[in-house]
Amino acid sequence: MTYPPVGENTLGLLAEVRASRSRVGGSRRLVRQENPHRASLGTAFIGVGTSLICALSAIYGFTWFVSYWTVYPNPILALAAWVLLIVVLVAAFVTASVVGDRLPDWMFALLLALIAVVMALDVVAIWDLHDVGQYATASLTAALALLLVITLRRPSDILISIGAVGIALFAVTIANTRLTADNATVQITSIAFTVLPVVIGVMVVRGFRSMVQIELDRVLVQSTVSAPRFAVGMLASEELARLDLAAEELLDSVATGRIALPLRPKTASVAASLATELRLHLIEGRRETWLYHAITESELLGRSVTLTDKGSLAGLLDANQRDGLLAAVWLLVNDHAKKSAVRTVQVSVGPIVATTPVALTHKLKVPVVITTTGVQRNRVDPSTWDAIRRVGRYSDSSQNASLRVEIECFVDNPADL
């Protein structure tokens, strides 16, 4: 027998804890998709744009309504539809600009109900004409009210609503209008005019949001460039404070006798894991470089970049080289039109290569190798090469049909400083 069976986990847990830490890292990244406040950056402005489009479409629809005035068997109902629609549009616009980031459910439901009423009034008004596509005006414009709140609701809400509107229009058309070769197209175009702008609008808003999200992610990660050689990362001090507090509470409970001695196994294991985590944070916490933090903190990079940097040499890169390396990795991961394609990037830093003569520059040569999967060499954005050039002299090749870049990076020798 050498040691008691290791039920102890004060120190022995290190590896497991580390593994679990890197796992939870994923859910603790700084930017979260579901954070509506951050994602709404600039979408208010986009909202005003969609309102403008909605207004123009409404004027267009209203023009048709005026030109049909004499044709309507019952123009009062159609007029009522338009009056209600204008009230709804104005109210929705005002609400959208004061309500903030999100439209409450009941308001959205009210809006949908009002749209339904407008459509019903308009359809009743033109029922006897038996050509919905031709004579419907307010009902076609009504759905565009969804454009006004497009930035304030989840895309799925808007898509489901506009889908319902489209189906309703289609059903009414089928029920009311006898399709002939002459009037079929106008039915198609009318429904398209109602549905497509909203669908496209949803896509725009979604694209805009993800663009803002990615840019935000990049900007936040960018701040690692100015970090010291070893840094603790954004979450470390928070984490340390949390551990300190937990330890304080536990010790306090022991001191005041709230927890009786000897401890129950459960409490003992809490103490053990606290000690382990504290040790990790105190001893190992400063071993990570800016690049490690950049990758782990970023939603985008964390998914597809792996880093091998045994000697923590990335920390030696100066700000310009760091900026270049980060930009290059970022561009390799993100810069492609097909967002669905999977790209991965492996960055490996070091080990230091002995240079001769050593004394001339007082610089260390650190090789940085970027290997990728799914990145075709001729598809790489030219600005990527500019970024890589800022890190050092490079040579590029293809490996398994994907880009591989070797960079000779010269850094100041920390022993000289």
367-396 residues near other proteins, rule: CB under 8 A? 383
| Residue 64 makes contact with other proteins by CB under 8 A | no
Our CB check for other proteins shows the closer of 76 and 282 to be 282
Nearer to other proteins, 272 or 369 (CB): 272
Decide: is 359 part of the binding site for other proteins (CB under 8 A): no
Q: Which is nearer to other proteins, 139 or 224 (CB)?
A: 224
Query: Is residue 53 near other proteins by the rule CB under 8 A?
Result: yes
Structure tokens at 311: 């000697």
Among 355, 376, 358, residue whose Cα is nearest residue 367: 355
The number of CA neighbours under 13 Å toward the Cβ of 36 is: 10
Binding positions for other proteins, 74-113, rule CB under 8 A: none
Rounded distance, CA 34 to CA 372, Å?
A: 30
List binders of other proteins among 220-249 (CB under 8 A).
Answer: 220, 222-224, 226-228, 231-232, 234, 236-238, 240-241, 244-245, 247-249
Contacts of 408 (CB under 8 A, 6+ apart): 365, 367, 392, 393, 394
Label residue 409 exposed, middle or buried (CB < 10 Å: 0-12, 13-18, 19+): buried
| Distance in Å, CB of 8 to other proteins, minimum | 7
Q: Does 254 bind other proteins (CB under 8 A)?
A: yes
Considering only residues 332-351, where is the footprint of other proteins by CB under 8 A? 335, 337
Nearer to other proteins, 211 or 353 (CB): 211
C-alpha distances (whole Å) from 317 to each of 287, 290, 308, 405 are 15, 10, 15, 17
Closest CA to 96 of 141, 165, 43: 43
Nearer to other proteins, 156 or 256 (CB): 256
Interface with other proteins in residues 141-180 (CB under 8 A): none
Instruction: Determine, following the binding rule CB under 8 A, whether residue 52 of this chain makes contact with other proteins.
Output: yes
Does residue 346 sit in helix, strand or coil? strand
Nearest-angstrom CA–CA distance, 96 and 52: 13
Cα distances from 297 to residues 49, 148, 186, 215, 302, in angstroms, run: 34, 35, 53, 14, 7
Q: 3-state DSSP call for residue 105? A: helix
Stretch that binds other proteins, among 98-106, 282-290, 303-311, 366-374 (CB under 8 A): 282-290
- The token duo for 162 is 């506009």
Among 71, 76, 171, 283, binds other proteins (CB under 8 A): 283
Question: Hey, which residues between 175 and 194 contact other proteins (CB under 8 A)?
Answer: 181-186, 188-189, 192
Quick count: other Cβ atoms within 10 Å of Cβ 346?
A: 15
- Binders in 203-222 for other proteins, by CB under 8 A: 203-204, 207-208, 211-212, 214-216, 218-220, 222
Q: How many residues bind other proteins (CB under 8 A)?
A: 101
Report, in Å, the least distance between residue 109 CB and other proteins. 28
- Residue 248 one-letter amino acid: E
